[in-house]
Structure 1
Amino acid sequence: MKAALALASALALAGCAGLEPATPPDYTGPTVNVADQAVPAGGQLLHVFEMTQVDGRRLMATSMATVRANQGRGFGVSPVALSNELPLRPARVRLQALTQYGTPILAMTNPTCRTEGEVVFTPEAGKAYRVAGRIAAEACEVWIEDSATKQSVTDKVSGKGAGP
């Protein structure tokens, strides 16, 4: 539970310094869209599936944007899902699945999940992708899938579940 509070505090205090776009500034070729997801699981809880880095570049993440958008709103939380444009070439992508509550006190007193890891992702032209996952008592998982087919296109990153 202390980890959940530390995460919430870090997200609330995180600044934009050091954040970069998913596509390198010198890249001029075609790109594909990869959308994060923030799935409501009650008025005070979201399940967030996001991309936080591409080839070592730290991105503005859905969890950070959601914290900022919901500051001062009490216990409720409304999702702010971001998306990124990636070049058509293989990339090392850091994915994260987490539970995000409206306030840090809720994270201290309820089940939480946070798992992250790196996968290799090779996007294809003409496709759209989304970061998907599962948060359950037994496991927390995150991966990238084809938006149209809902088929996984990366390995899954798995971690400890949100259960007791």
Structure 2
Amino acid sequence: MPHRFSKFKTWLFVAIASLLASCVSVDQMQQKLAQSSAPQVASVAEMTYTPLKTGVEQTVLFGEKTPTFQFQHGKGYYAAFELTETGKPRLVKVKTYWSHDHLPSASILVPNLLVLDKNKQQIGKIENYRLDTDSSLLSGLTYYADLPIPANAAYLVAFAATTHSEKISAYSGDGTEFILPLAPAGKFLISAGESLPLDADFSKALIKDSFKSHAVDKVDFFYVETIAGKSIKNSRINSIEVNRGKGARIYPALIDRQVSANKPVTLGLAAKTQYGAPIQELFKKVYQVKGEITFTPQKDKKYVVKGQLAEGAASVWLEDAETHQVMDKKIVGDGK
């Protein structure tokens, strides 16, 4: 028994030490970066470049042993990559995560990219891009982006963003929103996609969900449920998750998503009444309607899912946020 208890104490000590190590604050990370004795190169030409093979996801760790470089914003960790296929544009995907499951202590590393040509001359800088989210049982909540890389790019230098144009937030189990501070250290993943035609169009359009609130415990949601037949996260589901544990109240937590512009896309639109407590659906009326539309989004345009829910008169549609023109058609039903 004493031997087993000793093993347990050892395991507990390791677990606590690991937990404390992962709770390092952004200020502490900044201090470690400032005091880092890791090699610091004088120019991008002196960096060691790792091959970024098409379709191969690589894990990058920024920490005390990572080499540093003096960027415009100051000293920072970096990872340098050589594209193994050049001459055509492509998308490079980056994924990043919270630094810790305890949200008040969590931060996030957002990678920016310097884009270099074959002579290692800077031809671009990728920053302040939109981050989308996904989740799974294995990886938890993932923040990701598909970043367009031009045909004449040959090298990439990744470094941690110190500013970002949009706030990055996460919700705890009780629905509390936390703004994640940007971290100079941490982990992210990077991979290069297949080469694309020289005239590849990377332009995007934005599609937003909407809602109509009837009471603190009753909301009608109008949202995109599928894109090209594939289910996606929508504002109704997101609101249920955010409001879990808050009793019968439901506060709408809307999300939006980008789609490729200038080519047809099929969207599954839906409208549904949502109550704060699931049991309310047993004795109160739930109206809903759903269907598909196909349209061609225009570059940089914003579109909004709208609708009406009532007995015998339910409808949902997508409209231009500026002109209110209906895209394709209105989907109508009896609401049952």
Work out whether the TM-score is over 0.5.
Answer: yes
Q: Classify 1:76/1:35 alpha carbon distance in 2 versus 1 (closer, same or farther; 3 Å).
A: same
Q: Classify 1:113/1:24 alpha carbon distance in 2 versus 1 (closer, same or farther; 3 Å).
A: farther
Q: What is aligned with 1:87?
A: 260
* 1:18-65 deviations in Å (ceiling 9; x for gaps): 9xxxx9896860101000012211111111000011112221111110
Between 96-105 and 50-59, report the one with greater CA deviation. 50-59
- Identical pairs, percent: 25
Structure 2 unpaired stretches of 5+: 1-133, 138-144, 148-192, 194-199
TM-score, scaled to structure 1: 0.79
Is residue 312–residue 333 contact of structure 2 (8 Å, CA) maintained in 1?
Answer: no
Q: Distance in 2 between matches of 1:105 and 1:111?
A: 12
- 2:235 counterpart (38, 62, 66): 62
Q: Classify 1:53/1:76 alpha carbon distance in 2 versus 1 (closer, same or farther; 3 Å).
A: same
Amino acid at match of 1:70: N
Q: Classify 1:99/1:58 alpha carbon distance in 2 versus 1 (closer, same or farther; 3 Å).
A: same
Is residue 34–residue 131 contact of structure 1 (8 Å, CA) maintained in 2?
Answer: yes
SS at match of 2:215: coil
Amino acid at match of 1:146: D
SS at match of 2:240: helix
Q: Distance in 2 between matches of 1:39 and 1:138?
A: 18
- 1:126 counterpart (278, 282, 300): 300
Output the aligned Cα RMSD.
2.6
Query: Is it true that 1:150 corresponds to 2:329 in the alignment?
Result: no
Q: Distance in 2 between matches of 1:44 and 1:28?
A: 43
SS at match of 2:247: coil
Q: What is aligned with 2:281?
A: 107
Is residue 224–residue 305 contact of structure 2 (8 Å, CA) maintained in 1?
Answer: yes
Q: Classify 1:154/1:24 alpha carbon distance in 2 versus 1 (closer, same or farther; 3 Å).
A: farther
Structure 1 unpaired stretches of 5+: 1-14
Between 1 and 2, higher relative CO (CA 8 Å, sep ≥ 6) is seen in: 1
Is residue 39–residue 79 contact of structure 1 (8 Å, CA) maintained in 2?
Answer: no
What is the number of equivalent residue pairs in this alignment?
146
Q: Distance in 1 between matches of 2:234 and 2:300?
A: 24
List structure 1 runs of 4+ shifted beyond 3 angstroms: 15-18, 23-28
Is residue 47–residue 97 contact of structure 1 (8 Å, CA) maintained in 2?
Answer: yes
TM-score, scaled to structure 2: 0.40
Q: What is aligned with 2:207?
A: 34
